[in-house]
Amino acid sequence: MSEYGADHVQDGPGARTRNGVLRGSLKDGVASFLGIPYAQAPVGELRFRAPEPAESWDGIREATAFGPTAPKRPYAPPLAALLPDPEVAGDDCLNLNVWAPWPATGPGDGGTPGGGRAVMVWIHGGSLVHGSSAVSVYDGTAFARDGVVLVSINYRLGIEGFGVFPDAPANLGLRDQIAALTWVRENIAAFGGDPERVTVFGESAGAISIGALLASPLAKGLFRRAVLQSGAPTSKSVAFARKTTEAIAARLRVPATAEAFAGVDRERLLAAQTAVTGKGSPLISGNLFHIVVDGEVLLEDPGDALADGASAEVELLMGTNTDEYRLWFVPDGHADRVGPLSQRLLLRRGRIAPRTAKVYRALRPQEKPGEVLGAIATDWVLRVPLNMLADFRLHSGRAAATYLYEFGWPSPVLDLRACHALELGFVFDTLDSPETRMLTGPDAPRDLATAMHAAWVAFAKTGDPGWRPWDTARPVMTFGPGRPALVEAPREEERLAWGS
């Protein structure tokens, strides 16, 4: 093997990284290397501290099983039956996985003279408190099968990743992501990847994280393209985000400092965190964790930074699902409990203009008040901000191409329709996974998964997913119901009701 090359070691595929040699698994021309540390375990003196580079090892390190997941609690019912969230015990949670075509030194896809393959780095969602790279829906085999080196990462969650303390750095989970991307830049060539053609992609909190990475000076140059699935660039002030930390501290009866929290038993800490944050969601207010403008990782709100031209050189693919809200509003009966009066009270609490709500009610006369409320929330939090970002980039005249999509295939499970997270099994082409079927049911259309997955692969390789980039006609590629189709300005009357 060359200094940072790739080859075979005894009994499996081998890759020599800067930290040492790895032995992975090989199946049907795809090598997988799992549980690779990209930073030291965030325990002891490194707990509530910025990530430190991983230590080197002697000999050959086995990389055939997922590494430990970040400390977390499972989703509460009823979401626990819909969203898989495996836990792997251990302290070394700052790890990542690589799937790559093998042999790694074979022909690339023509991107560079050296033949390195396009790389995609997956950042999972979960409201910054759930999720991991061990979810089988995120298996990278299909991407490697189609010529992409796929990387998925873990990062610190909850109070340990996004707590706000006076005696610790902020945005630790985001700093972990930057450390993982730095590892990719330094080591991905050992797996046949091209460090100059990295695409970051993520969903929900993962997409929100990518919005922050696009605006962060610390992530500059670590990726060339980005995909935001059902998450818009946003942040909160340190003072606002600190309220969640203070609420957990009050429940624990300790000072709201990293020093005090480090002395609390982890299970007790997770129990308090769950009690404080458990009733919130991306579309429902509550005590949540947030990315913050800390003056180091983020100098200003990501949305403002991107509107002002940050990462204009990065090609973007962004989109939402038609019925995002149904994941939170339907399984627990929330959509049925909302009546006309409570709808108006909730809209007033959210400071939604009455004229905006009036447009949605008029265009959805057959829908329940809770469903109209959900459609408004979906557009307010997701669709409208992403449309605005696409418009800012277009009107600047200086930005790289921007592409928008909408996923609309309706799942029959619990009448969830095209809810939040439903597109994931289609993007990864993992419809056969039992965990994917928790949301899709057994008969999801394979041709739609083939088309959507192929678009993501094409975007990573070429910067073009296969349809017209954003222009004044507002083209959106719709993936279902039915065959993929390019639609101009879908539901434009509702979007215009926001005055944007």
CB 26 within 8 A of CB 12: yes
CB 405 within 8 A of CB 476: yes
**Rounded distance between C-alpha atoms, residue 9 and residue 15, angstroms:** 8
Report the DSSP beta bridge partners of residue 229.
Answer: 203, 319
The predicted pLDDT at position 4 comes to 46
- List, by residue number, the catalytic residues: 204, 324, 420
**Rounded distance between C-alpha atoms, residue 125 and residue 205, angstroms:** 4
CB 317 within 8 A of CB 459: yes
What domains can be seen in the chain, in order of their start residue?
6-332+381-496 (3.40.50.1820)
The predicted pLDDT at position 10 comes to 79
**Per-residue 3-state assignment (H helix, E strand, C coil) for the chain:** CCCCCEEEECCEEEEECCCCEEECEEECCEEEEEEEECECCCCHHHCCCCCCECCCCCCEEECCCCCCCCCCCCCCCCHHHCCCCCCCCCCCCCEEEEEEECCCCCCCCCCCCCCCEEEEEEECCCCCCCCCCCCHHHCCHHHHHCCCEEEEECCCCHHHHHCCCCCCCCCHHHHHHHHHHHHHHHHHHHHCEEEEEEEEEEECHHHHHHHHHHHCHHHCCCCCEEEEECCCCCCECHHHHHHHHHHHHHHHCCCCCHHHHHCCCHHHHHHHHHHHHCCCECCECCCCCCCECCCCCCCCCHHHHHHCCCCCCCEEEEEEECCCCHHHHCCCCHHHHCCHHHHHHHHHHCCCCHHHHHHHHHHCCCCCHHHHHHHHHHHHHHHHHHHHHHHHHHHHCCCCCEEEEEECCCECHHHCECCCCCCHHHHCCCCCCHHHHHHHCCCCCHHHHHHHHHHHHHHHHHCCCCCCCCCCCCEEEEECCCCCEEEECCCHHHHHCCCC
pTM over 0.95: yes
Q: Phi/psi at 84 (nearest 5 deg)?
A: -65, 140
**Rounded distance between C-alpha atoms, residue 197 and residue 117, angstroms:** 8
Residue 400: CB atoms within 10 A of its CB come to 15
Q: Phi/psi at 53 (nearest 5 deg)?
A: -55, 145
The predicted pLDDT at position 279 comes to 77
Longest dimension (CA), the chain: 69
Residue 392: CB atoms within 10 A of its CB come to 17
User: Token pair for residue 92?
Assistant: 């070394």
The predicted pLDDT at position 287 comes to 81
User: Token pair for residue 298?
Assistant: 């983020």
Residue-level pLDDT, tens digit, the chain, 500 residues: 334 454 667 788 999 999 999 999 999 999 999 999 999 999 999 999 999 999 999 999 999 999 999 999 999 999 999 999 999 999 999 999 999 999 987 555 654 545 699 999 999 999 999 999 999 999 999 999 999 999 999 999 999 999 999 999 999 999 999 999 999 999 999 999 999 999 999 999 999 999 999 999 999 999 999 999 999 999 999 999 999 999 999 999 999 999 999 999 999 999 999 999 987 666 666 789 999 999 999 999 999 999 999 999 999 999 999 999 999 999 999 999 999 999 999 999 999 999 999 999 999 999 999 999 999 999 999 999 999 999 999 999 999 999 999 999 999 999 999 999 999 999 999 999 999 999 999 999 999 999 999 999 999 999 999 999 999 999 999 999 999 999 999 999 999 999 85
**Rounded distance between C-alpha atoms, residue 216 and residue 210, angstroms:** 10
Strand order across the 193-203 sheet: 25-27, 30-37, 95-101, 149-153, 117-123, 193-203, 225-229, 315-321, 402-407, 475-479, 485-488
User: Token pair for residue 378?
Assistant: 């979906």
Nearest residue to 99 (alpha-carbon basis) of 142, 131, 65, 54 = 142
Note the residue count of the chain: 500
List CB contacts of 191: < 8 A, sequence separation 6 or more: 6, 15, 31, 33, 98, 100, 104, 149
Nearest residue to 66 (alpha-carbon basis) of 19, 128, 135 = 135
Cis ω on the peptide bond leading into residue 78 (within 30° of 0)? yes
**Rounded distance between C-alpha atoms, residue 208 and residue 213, angstroms:** 9
The predicted pLDDT at position 8 comes to 64
